[in-house]
Every structure is written in structure tokens, then in C-alpha cells.
Chain A
């Protein structure tokens, strides 16, 4: 990186080169796409999704946020809470990232002032009360000097909280999964058709949520047929129970018709079987949402067709103002849509279940992924 910085004529080691992986990004000096980076400490392994901050890259931010357990938002202590920070917090809350950390950076440039830090916390906290965020932590740091990044800072004795790294290593993420609502979208039917496993029939998939145990009563959707789990198979042997995010193969006691796109769940706890869906959708394509367009909608392992029924409103990602006159969505815009479906989907609310409450929209003519939706 030092070599490349010199070649470019940068006056200092340009740290952006670390994540700006594409030639166009290095040429233009901007981050265009989500970059994934990896590091580990003795306690945890981390994946960083570095997303660009500008409004024209909202779709990339949404993409990075869709799989994140925690969001880090950097606020410049001198500038305070800017439009960009508010937009990022809104996206983090929309995508239900369970943990939000606001790093008030460049504390060295405001004389490590506790008063300034409190001011920013109050401003951010006041605004974000409009959002749906469960866990928000504020940490005063100086990234340049390392204050409160790895170790607690000696320049800010008034701050009693954890350093950023300590917080990242210890924040509890396991309980963010939904272990209550048993949902198993069938991905693939395993039928060896070999002499050794002549009658074997298993249903492979990833547990989306909840816990499945051998002997559990289950119902298959859409058929509504009920049976029990006869066994939970893996290459490494049978399991007594399976939970997210394990990829397993379920065997059922009765020989019933089950195929890809079906959902296995418990008779007393079913997702809603929906022909219509209300959702927050982020538009990701240069081609705007077409009022009479037909799209493929993929949710879990099921793909059906969707038509736009109505645009309820478009949301201004900076002010959170709802424009109810809006009749479409363009690239990077977010709005509430009602869609009609060609066949039912088995849905949960996104805020309760990220795995069964999320979907993508695919343009039938270009095959591009054009929208990302969160079920309301």
C-alpha cells in the first residue's frame, strides 16, 4: 500500500486503498461497492462489510447491512451529527441490524471534551428515538491516535465504557437469532437412488429459525400435510436437534410429497400464507420500478411472480419524511409497496424474522436483482 501510494503521488499512505479494490475506485478515489474484509482476534472472527457512504450508494449500504450483526457509524466530533450519519442509522434500523455503535471520532481535535461528546450523544439519541434500534452504544475515539480503539484512552478519563474492540469482541450476538419460530425452507430433495440407500428420501435445507428435534410434529406448506421428523441427517452423522444456521437434511415419518420451495414448520406456529404482501422496498436498479411491471420475487427458496398493486409512500432517507404522493421508486429510493403474488409465499414480519421476512425482486426481462424487500 505504501508502494502504491507513492506511485500515485499521494502525500501519505492512502488507507482507502485497503478497501478500494477495483481499478475504477482507485482512479476516482471513491468507494463504489461493498468490500468484504476479514480479521480475527483470539476471541472472535470478524467480517467487515465496508460500504460507501454517499446517498447514490444507498443500495450498497442496504446490501452490506442485510447480513450484518452490528453497524459501526463514524461521527466526526467537530462536525457533529450530519445528514449522512442519520441516513446510515436509518438504514441500519430498517435492515434490523441488532446492534448499533456510534463512534464519535477525532476526539483529539476537540480536546477530548466530554461536553462535546455528550452533546453529540444527545443529538443522535434524540433523533434516533424515531427509529427502531434495540441496542445503541456511543464510544468516543480517536482513530488516528488509537484512543479507545483497542485500549481505554488515558486522554479521556471521564469515559468509563469499553474500548471499541472490547465491545466488538463481547457484544452478545447469539441471542439475535430467532429460536422460537421453527421454519425450514426446503432447498433440495435428496434421493440417492443407489442400492445402499434405495428408499432414502430426505429434505435438505438451512434452518431459517427455531429449533427442530427428532420426533417433532411438523406441517408441510403449502400442502398442509402433517407428519413427524424421523431423523436429522448430516454427512457427519445424525443430530438430535437442528437450529439456525445449520444446513441439514430432514427425514419425515410419512411418505408425503414435498418439494423445493415448500416450508416445514410446526402445526401450532405457522408463517402467514400470503397472496399479497406489504413491504419496505429499496430499489436497486437504474431502471425505475414500473407501475405495471411484473417481477420475480424470491423469498427463502421460493420464487413466484409479483405485480405492483400500489406505492403507499416513498421515504426520504435523510428526513424520514413520507411522500404519499409518490407513484414509483428510482435507484436508491426506499418506499412502502403493496404487491400481488401469483402464488402464495410463507411469510413472517421482517422485524420478527430476518430469514423469512426478506425477499428480492428480479426483473423478468433483464434477470437483474432490482429490489430488496422487508415484509411489514
Chain B
């Protein structure tokens, strides 16, 4: 016996450790669930962490109203299977209440509005810890973010005043009004996630696999044709074999041309790719060099 474990087991164990640690130290937690692959893995780890007991915290979906229908169906199925309590925080509600103003025009997106809805929900429910599936390999501001990432009374992230994080000792002390974002998958790569999904047979929304879909080309990215996006005059829809590498709004999540119809095919495809999923398929990260850092400072995921 060599007492060695695979890197996936080590990552799993680290994630479970983080989830338990935070659940123990911060009484009111919530797991942010988008229906994407990362949040699917996160939910799976949370389940493992407390088994055979149920999750000691609810699951929350920040609903932009611009979802892929396949993802909503998947969300409800998973929450039921896990037996968790689901909270839906709706961007439409935030718009109706006048908390945010809807963007207009062909490039309108509710992506940025989500931060307000999320922070309002955290405040309303008094959550002290919000678990998210973000990974450090996704984007360079995230590469510098802690596993327990402190948010002040305004929900803001201050990248220059982060708490040092050493060994596996996490500091979860917060004052009233403050909270922490918790990223148990910080050290996972996109490939790790896919390999783990395959190994653990974690169900995912069908849009991750190759399918035929009406798309149009904008700024070199393929977007799904949907009621939530207005086409520009120069844009015309066509059908293509595509799959999605991330799950976000229909308005800002691009597809990639792909014939990868099985998990096996997807793992092979990801292992050979050199562009991160956000760089390739997310319009929201292409706004500027520091698009993610700026949104994170405002309270984004």
C-alpha cells in the first residue's frame, strides 16, 4: 500500500474540507447554483461532505430570466434529487422593484444586473457565506482570489486587501453585514472538472454536449438565437453543430462548433484546447482587460 491518491481525489478532499469548515464556522450559508458544470460539481461535493445527512444550507439560483430552458429543467431535477431547499433570486424582480435598470439595444445583457440581485438576496436572507463554483484557472483576477474571499458591507471585493490564506486554515470571521464568498473548486482546472464529471457520472444540462442549433455570428462568437437577443442587420441565423462550454445567460454565452457528443469526446476536446472557456465563449469577460476584476469588486460571483 503506497497511500497515494489521484489528483482528482485530492481536489475532491480539499473541496469537502473547505465546505465543512465554512458550514461549521459560518452559521448561515448558501450554495450558488447556476446549473453549470462547476456548480454541479460543487453541489456533488456538498452532498458528499454531509452524507448521510442532508445539506445544512439551501441552494440559490440567481435567475436572469434569460436562461436556457434545458438548464432550468436540469436545475429543478438536481435540486429535487439532492433534496435541497431551492431559493430563486430573480433579476426580473430587481428590475420591477426599480433596484436596477434594464439595458437596451441589441447588446443588452442582464449579466451585470445579477450582482445587485445576488447582493440583495444575500442581505435579505442574512447569508454569511455563499459557496460558488469559480475556479482560479478561469480568469486572471480569479487566479489571485482566495478560497474564502471576504466581502465588505457593500458586497465589494478589495483585491489589494485580501486576507492571507495559509495551509488549510481558513479565516471565516465576519462582522454583521459582511459575508464571504467560498470557492471550494479554486484549484480545479476545466479539465479536472470534466474528468471528475466523467468519473463520478454527474448529470449535466444537455447543452454541454454537441447538438444542432440555430445560431448567429457576432464578434467572432456564435450565439444561440433566442427571444432575449435582438439581431443586428448584418447578422443572419444559421444551423450548426455546437455545444456550450459554460452556462450563463443566453444573451452573453457563446457556443463552440463541436461534434463532441459524449463525455469522453468532451474530455478529449478539452484536453487539446488552449483557450479557457471564459476567454472563448463569454462576451461579459471581453468588455475590457479587467472586466472580471471590475465586476468582482462590485459583488459579482
Chain A residues with CB under 8 Å of chain B are: 4, 19, 21-24, 26, 32-38, 40, 44-45, 47, 59-60, 62-63, 66-67, 174, 177, 179, 187-188, 190-194, 196-197, 200, 204-206, 211, 233-236, 243, 245-247, 249, 260, 284, 296, 298-299, 301, 354-355, 358-360, 362, 367-369, 372
A243 contacts B3, C-beta separation under 8 Å: yes
B144 contacts A34, C-beta separation under 8 Å: yes
Partner of A23, one of B49, B164, B293: B293
A59 contacts B16, C-beta separation under 8 Å: no
| Chain A residues positioned under 8 Å from B202 (CB to CB) | none
A47-B187, A204-B20, A354-B167 are known contacts. Are A174 and B51 too (CB-CB below 8 A)? no
Q: How far is the CA of A40 from the CA of B8 in the complex (A)?
A: 13
Closest chain-B Cβ to A350's Cβ sits at a distance in Å of 10
Closest chain-B Cβ to A283's Cβ sits at a distance in Å of 10
B143 contacts A21, C-beta separation under 8 Å: yes
B54 contacts A192, C-beta separation under 8 Å: yes
Q: How far is the CA of A225 from the CA of B24 in the complex (A)?
A: 23
Chain B residue, CB-CB nearest to A8: B289
A-B contact pairs, 30 of them (CB 8 A): A19-B143, A21-B141, A21-B142, A22-B290, A22-B293, A33-B162, A36-B136, A37-B137, A40-B191, A44-B7, A45-B7, A47-B187, A59-B164, A174-B4, A187-B21, A188-B24, A190-B52, A191-B53, A192-B54, A211-B3, A233-B51, A233-B52, A247-B16, A247-B17, A249-B51, A284-B164, A299-B169, A355-B168, A360-B171, A369-B171
Sorted nearest first, the 3 A-B pairs with minimum C-beta distance are A21-B140, A192-B53, A235-B48
A174 contacts B53, C-beta separation under 8 Å: no
Chain B residue, CB-CB nearest to A245: B13
A21-B144, A372-B164 are known contacts. Are A358 and B13 too (CB-CB below 8 A)? no
Closest chain-A Cβ to B70's Cβ sits at a distance in Å of 27
Chain B residue, CB-CB nearest to A206: B17
| Chain A residues positioned under 8 Å from B187 (CB to CB) | 36, 38, 47
A234 contacts B175, C-beta separation under 8 Å: no
Chain B residue, CB-CB nearest to A284: B164
B144 contacts A358, C-beta separation under 8 Å: no
Q: How far is the CA of A193 from the CA of B53 in the complex (A)?
A: 8
Q: With A63-B164, A190-B53 given, can you name 5 additional A-B contacts, CB distance below 8 Å?
A: A188-B23, A191-B53, A247-B17, A354-B167, A359-B169
| Chain B residues positioned under 8 Å from A299 (CB to CB) | 169
Chain B residue, CB-CB nearest to A359: B169
Per-residue interface assignment for chain B, residues 1 to 34, with 1 indicating a CB less than 8 Å from any chain A CB and 0 otherwise: 0111101011011101100110110000000000
Interface hits, B116-156 → A, CB 8 Å: 136-137, 140-144
Q: How far is the CA of A286 from the CA of B54 in the complex (A)?
A: 42
B24 contacts A206, C-beta separation under 8 Å: no
Q: How far is the CA of A139 from the CA of B142 in the complex (A)?
A: 32
A21-B140, A37-B143, A243-B3 are known contacts. Are A298 and B50 too (CB-CB below 8 A)? no
Q: Does B160 contact A (CB under 8 A)?
A: yes
| Chain B residues positioned under 8 Å from A179 (CB to CB) | 3
Q: Does B186 contact A (CB under 8 A)?
A: yes
| Chain B residues positioned under 8 Å from A66 (CB to CB) | 166-167
Q: How far is the CA of A99 from the CA of B80 in the complex (A)?
A: 48
| Chain A residues positioned under 8 Å from B165 (CB to CB) | 63, 369
B167 contacts A67, C-beta separation under 8 Å: yes
Q: Does B262 contact A (CB under 8 A)?
A: no
Q: Does B206 contact A (CB under 8 A)?
A: no
Closest chain-A Cβ to B242's Cβ sits at a distance in Å of 26
| Chain A residues positioned under 8 Å from B159 (CB to CB) | 22, 24, 33
A26-B289, A45-B7 are known contacts. Are A362 and B171 too (CB-CB below 8 A)? yes
| Chain A residues positioned under 8 Å from B141 (CB to CB) | 21-22
A260 contacts B24, C-beta separation under 8 Å: yes
| Chain B residues positioned under 8 Å from A372 (CB to CB) | 164, 166
Q: How far is the CA of A174 from the CA of B1 in the complex (A)?
A: 12
| Chain A residues positioned under 8 Å from B160 (CB to CB) | 22, 24, 32
A38 contacts B290, C-beta separation under 8 Å: no
| Chain B residues positioned under 8 Å from A358 (CB to CB) | 166-167, 169
Q: How far is the CA of A62 from the CA of B166 in the complex (A)?
A: 8
